[in-house]
Amino acid sequence: MKRLALFVTAAVALLIPAVASAQAPYVYRPELRAWVYVPKAAPTAVAQHDAAEHIARHEAMAQHHRGTRMAQAAEHCDRMVRDARAALQTETAPPAPEPPPLHAPAHRTGSNGCCAPQ
């Protein structure tokens, strides 16, 4: 009986934190008179890096894979560097000036109201 009590106590002590963290976060809303589920914010899957870090990382990987049997990986990294540099240039480049408007000739009407050359 003592062994059973010790086993149950150990199981409860180990399972309580798991059960407590598995509970969905609910908040009581008195105006609704109900417990409302509040979802947790989803973690970002990929850490965001600036363009310089992205370029440096892929250049290093391309140098590592160059000359090995994984030549496709080097080509992939070269393409990623090219795309990142192109995106960086479009972000930092000043906007292109708009072309001047095309001047169309004025509409001329003849004496009878239709289009006629003058």
**Nearest 5°: CA angle at 92, between 78 and 84?**
15
pLDDT score, position 4: 87
pTM comes to: 0.41
Q: What is the pLDDT of residue 82?
A: 92
Q: What is d(CA 21, CA 41) in angstroms, rounded to the nearest whole number?
A: 15
Q: Are 17 and 30 in contact (CB under 8 A)?
A: no
Which residues, given as ranges, of the chain have pLDDT below 70? 17-23, 44-46, 102-118
Q: What is the DSSP letter of 46?
A: S
Q: Which residues pair with 53 in a beta bridge?
A: none
- The pLDDT assigned to 20 comes to 61
**Can you read off the two tokens belonging to residue 54?**
């992205």
Could you report the per-residue pLDDT of 87-105, keeping only the tens digit for each?
888 777 777 777 777 665 5
User: Which pLDDT value is given to residue 23?
Assistant: 67
DSSP code per residue over 50-118: -HHHHHHHHHHHHHHHTTSS-HHHHHHHHHHHHHHHHHHHHHHSPPPPPPPPP-PPPP-B-TTSSB---
**Helix 51-65 and helix 71-92: axis angle, to 10°?**
160
